[in-house]
Structure 1
Amino acid sequence: MKILAYKNLFIGITETLNNIFFNHKYADRELEKMLKSNKKWGSRDRAFIAETVYDTVRWKRMIEASMGKEVSPDNLWEFVGTWFSLNDEKLPYWDEFKKIDQREVLKKNHAATDRNFAVKASIPDWLNQLGMKELGKQWETEIDVMNVPSPAVIRTNTLKTDRKTLQRKLKEEGIESEILSKYPDALELAQKANIFKTEAFQNGWFEVQDAGSQLISPYLNVQPGMRVVDACAGAGGKALHLAALTENKGQIYGLDIHEWKLLELKKRAKRNGAQNIQTKVIDSSKVVKKMENTADRLLIDAPCSGLGVLSRNPDAKWKLSQEFIDSVKKEQAKILDEYCKIVKVSGAMVYATCSILPSENQNQVEIFLENHPEFKLVREKQLLPSQTGFDGFYMAYLERIS
C-alpha cells in the first residue's frame, strides 16, 4: 500500500487507534465514526485510512516487537511509522517519524519473530497457548489464514430478487462481483466499496453476510409455514435469511436481551420485505417459558469467543481474555439448557457459534446430550477458515425425539 503523505490522514489514523487500544472501542465503529466526521476525504483517502487502521490493529504485537516497546498514547505515530517501515515504505520527512530507523526496525522484527510464533502471528501468549491446547498445529494454520483480511461477501435477498439479477444490478452501479458456487445466495465483491449507498441495498436486495454465516440458517432445514425461533437474534442477519427461506410463510420469532438490536432487526426486516418476523425482548424468564414446546425449529446462534472471525474483527484478540472465554462457555451451556425447551417433540434445533474451539462447539454439544437424552445429534459441521477461505463457524443439528 502506497503511503498518502497527508498529515490529516495520519491524524485520523492515530486518533482512531487511540480509541481502539486505550478507550476499548470497537474498530469498525470507530473507523465508521472517523470517516463520517470527515466527509471531504475522497475514496482513496478513506481506503488508505481503513486499510492502515485494520492492518496496524491486526499486527499490533508484531509491530510492538519491531519497535522494541509496547504501543502507548504517546508513541502512536512511531507505531504507525514502524508498520510502514516493515512494509518498505518511505516515510514522509515529518518530526513524528524522525526516531524511526528502518534497519533497526527490521533487525528487531527478525529477532522477535524467528523464535516466537505468537509474536510472528501477532496474538497474545495466553491465546496461543489455548489454541495449541485445543487444536494443536492446526491452530497455527488457522491463525495464519485469519491474519489475511476477509473478503467482502453479500447475501441475495431472495424475497425480492435472484442472485444473477442482483449481480447485473450491482454491475450497473459500478460494483463487480463473483458468484460463489458452494453458497447458494452469495456474491463476493471484487473489491470493497460503499455498497450501502447503492439502489440495490436501499431496495433491500441484499444484506452483508459472510459466506460461512450464510450456511447456518439453511442448516436448520426450515420449510414455509413453520414456527421458527431465533433465540439470540441480535440485529437479525440470520432471522432475515430464515424469512427468505420460509418464503414469508409461517412465523419467525427473533429474541434477544437487547431491545436496541431488535429495533435494528425491525428496520432491516422492513427494507427486506420480511413480513413474518416478530421480535420479543427477553426481559425475564417468562418469555422463554411461554414459548416452551411451540417451535418446529430453534436457532441458538450462541454468544462465543469469536475466534473464527478474527480476519473480520482483528481487534477482538486484544479485548479477549481467558476469563471471558470461561464465562461465555458457561453462558452457552446455560442457554442450551434453558432454550432447548422451546423445541416441540419431533422438532429440531441448531446450535451455532463463530468459534473454532472444540470447547465451545463439539464439547458443549456432548455435555448437552448427556444432560438431555430427549435430543439426538443428527449432524454437525465445523467450518475452518483454512478450508473455506471465509470465517470459521460451527453448527450442530439436534432433533428432539421425546
Structure 2
Amino acid sequence: MRLHRNLCFATVDGLLLIFNEGNYADKVVQQLLKRDKRWGSRDRGFVAETTYDIVRWKRLYAEIANVKEPFSRDDIWRLFAVWATLKGIKLPDWKYFENTPTRKIKGRFDELSQIRKIKESFPDWIDELAEKELGETVWNKEAAALNEQADVILRANTLKTTKEKLKSELFDLDFDTEEIKGYLDALKLKERANVFTTEAFKKGWFEVQDASSQLVAEFLDVKPGIKVVDTCAGAGGKTLHIAALMENKGQVIAMDIYENKLRELKRRAKRAGAHNIEMRTIDSTKPIKKLYDKADRVLIDAPCSGLGVLRRNPDAKWKLEASFLERIKTTQREILSSYSRMVKPGGKLVYATCSILPSENQEQVKHFLTSESGKEFTFVKEKKILSHESGFDGFYMALLERKNTK
C-alpha cells in the first residue's frame, strides 16, 4: 500500500480532535469524509478505517511510540508511523517519518504483547473490572474480540420486502450478502460498503442493525394487535423492528428523554412505512404514570456502559469512567423499578443492555426480582451474548413476566 499525503493529513487532523478535544470518533469521521469531493470509496475507506484503527489501539501504539496525552501533532505522526510499521506499510520519505525506528517498533510490540491490558489496549480499570466479573479465560477472548472490526449487518424491513427479495435487489446493485443462521431478518455484507446511498435503503427496505441487537425485539415476543412500550427508544432501531414484527397492527409507544432522538425515529419510521408508532418524550414522571398497568409488552433497553459494542465505538473505552459506571448502575435499578409498572398483569418485560458485565445485567435482574416492585414478576429466560462466541456485539437480555393477579 502507498500512503497518500492528503489522506494521512486528514487522519492526523481527525485523531487530534478525537484524542485531545474529546470529539466522538463517528462524528469526526463523518466530517473527514466530506473533506475532498475527489476522494473515491477507497480513499474514504482508508481515512475511516485508519482513524478507527489508531483509536482502537491507542494505548498500545502510544506505549510503543513512547508518547503521552495530550498528544502533539508530532506525537500523532509517531502513532501513525507505529500503525503503518505494524501493518507492513513502507513509510514514505516525509519529514514526519524521519528516524522512525522500524526494528525497535516491532521489538517493542513483541515485548508489550505479553501484557493483556496493553496488547488489547484497554484502560487499567476496565481490564481489571472485566477480568473480575468475567474471569480471566473469558476476558482474554472477549478483549481480543472487541478489538475486531464489526461486520456491516442489515435487517430486512418485512413491512416492505422479504430477506430473499432484499438479497436479490442488493446483488443487482453489486452488494453481495449472506444470510446468518439463527437470525430471522439479518443479512451480512460480504465486503464493507456504503449502503446508505442505495435506492433500496431510500425506499426503506432495510436498516443497518447489528445481529445481536436484532434478537431483542424477537425476545420480547410481540404479536400483531398488542400494545408495546419501548421505554428507551433512542433513534429507534429496535422500535422499527418491533413495528415490523407486529405487521403495523396494534400500538408501539416509543419513549425517550431526548426529543431529538425521537424526531430521528419519526423520520426513520416514515421511510420504513411503520405507521403504528407513537412518540412520547419523557419530560417528567407523568408519561410513565399514565401507562401504569397498560402495556402487553415493555422493552427496557437500558442505558449502560456500552462495553459490548466497542467494536463499532472504540473511542468509548477512552471516554468511559468508573464513576459513570457506578451512576449508570443506579439509573438501571431506578428505571427497572419505575418502568416495569407499565406492564399489565399477564404482560411481559424485557430488560436489555449492550454490556457484557454481569453487574449491569443478570445482577440487576436479580436485584429487581427481590425488590418490592419486582415481586410481581417471574423470571422466564435470559440470553447472554459475548462477541468472541457470536462474532457480533456483546448483549444481554432477560424476559420477565408479570403475574396475572386475576
Quickly name the TM-score band, shorter chain normalised: over 0.9
What is the identity, as a one-letter code, of the residue corresponding to 1:193?
A
Deviations 1:147-184 (A, max 9, x none): 11011100000000000100010011111100112101
- Displacement after TM superposition at 1:107 (Å): 2.1
- Displacement after TM superposition at 1:70 (Å): 2.2
CA contact (8 A) 1:147 1:311 kept: yes
- 2:228 aligns with 228
What is the identity, as a one-letter code, of the residue corresponding to 1:273?
G
CA contact (8 A) 1:251 1:278 kept: yes
Q: Counterparts of 1:94 and 1:314 in 2: how far apart (Å)?
A: 29
Q: Counterparts of 1:29 and 1:174 in 2: how far apart (Å)?
A: 28
The 3-state SS of whatever aligns with 2:43 is helix
Q: Does residue 324 of the first structure (1) align with residue 314 of the second (2)?
A: no
- 1:61 aligns with 59
- 1:76 aligns with 76
- Displacement after TM superposition at 1:396 (Å): 0.3
Identity %: 49
- 1:400 aligns with 402
Q: Does residue 389 of the first structure (1) align with residue 391 of the second (2)?
A: yes
Range with greater deviation from structure 2 (194-203 or 101-110) = 101-110
- 2:376 aligns with 374
For 1:297-308, list aligned pairs within 5 A.
297-308=297-308
Q: Counterparts of 1:44 and 1:390 in 2: how far apart (Å)?
A: 25
For 1:229-308, list aligned pairs within 5 A.
229-308=229-308
Deviations 1:64-109 (A, max 9, x none): 1111222503311111111111222110110011131101212222
- Displacement after TM superposition at 1:110 (Å): 2.3
TM-score (norm 1): 0.98
- Displacement after TM superposition at 1:5 (Å): 2.2
- Displacement after TM superposition at 1:9 (Å): 0.6
Q: Counterparts of 1:73 and 1:269 in 2: how far apart (Å)?
A: 44
- 1:182 aligns with 182
Deviations 1:180-238 (A, max 9, x none): 12101000001111100101000000000000110000100011000000000000000
CA contact (8 A) 1:78 1:99 kept: no
CA contact (8 A) 1:65 1:109 kept: no
Q: Counterparts of 1:38 and 1:185 in 2: how far apart (Å)?
A: 36
Q: Counterparts of 2:185 and 2:370 in 1: how far apart (Å)?
A: 36
TM-score (norm 2): 0.97
Q: Counterparts of 1:73 and 1:292 in 2: how far apart (Å)?
A: 54
CA contact (8 A) 1:230 1:239 kept: yes
Q: Counterparts of 2:337 and 2:157 in 1: how far apart (Å)?
A: 33
- 1:117 aligns with 116
Q: Counterparts of 2:225 and 2:76 in 1: how far apart (Å)?
A: 56
Q: Counterparts of 2:72 and 2:235 in 1: how far apart (Å)?
A: 33
- Displacement after TM superposition at 1:23 (Å): 1.2
- 1:130 aligns with 129
- Displacement after TM superposition at 1:112 (Å): 2.2
CA contact (8 A) 1:348 1:400 kept: yes
What is the identity, as a one-letter code, of the residue corresponding to 1:110?
D
For structure 2, list consecutive stretches of 5 or more residues without a partner in the other structure.
none
What is the identity, as a one-letter code, of the residue corresponding to 1:127?
I
Q: Counterparts of 1:275 and 1:266 in 2: how far apart (Å)?
A: 10
What is the identity, as a one-letter code, of the residue corresponding to 2:402?
R
- Displacement after TM superposition at 1:31 (Å): 0.3
CA contact (8 A) 1:235 1:265 kept: yes
The equivalent position to 1:14 in structure 2, one of 12, 22, 36, is: 12
Deviations 1:323-374 (A, max 9, x none): 1111111111110011111111110110000011000000000000000210
Q: Counterparts of 2:68 and 2:106 in 1: how far apart (Å)?
A: 16
What is the identity, as a one-letter code, of the residue corresponding to 2:129?
L
Q: What's the Cα RMSD here? A: 1.0
Deviations 1:120-146 (A, max 9, x none): 111111110000110112111111111
Q: Counterparts of 1:295 and 1:181 in 2: how far apart (Å)?
A: 32
- 1:356 aligns with 356
What is the identity, as a one-letter code, of the residue corresponding to 1:120?
K
- 2:49 aligns with 51
Q: Counterparts of 1:29 and 1:244 in 2: how far apart (Å)?
A: 29
Q: Counterparts of 2:276 and 2:397 in 1: how far apart (Å)?
A: 24
For 1:185-224, list aligned pairs within 5 A.
185-224=185-224
The 3-state SS of whatever aligns with 2:62 is helix
Q: Counterparts of 1:38 and 1:303 in 2: how far apart (Å)?
A: 36
- Displacement after TM superposition at 1:310 (Å): 1.0
What is the identity, as a one-letter code, of the residue corresponding to 2:124?
D
CA contact (8 A) 1:179 1:188 kept: yes
Moved over 6 A (4+): none
For 1:101-180, list aligned pairs within 5 A.
101-114=101-114, 116-137=115-136, 138-180=138-180
Q: Counterparts of 1:78 and 1:181 in 2: how far apart (Å)?
A: 43
The 3-state SS of whatever aligns with 2:254 is strand
Aligned pairs, number: 399
Q: Counterparts of 1:243 and 1:387 in 2: how far apart (Å)?
A: 29
What is the identity, as a one-letter code, of the residue corresponding to 1:78?
R
- 2:24 aligns with 26
The 3-state SS of whatever aligns with 2:211 is coil
Q: Counterparts of 1:37 and 1:158 in 2: how far apart (Å)?
A: 36
- Displacement after TM superposition at 1:27 (Å): 1.0
For structure 1, list consecutive stretches of 5 or more residues without a partner in the other structure.
none
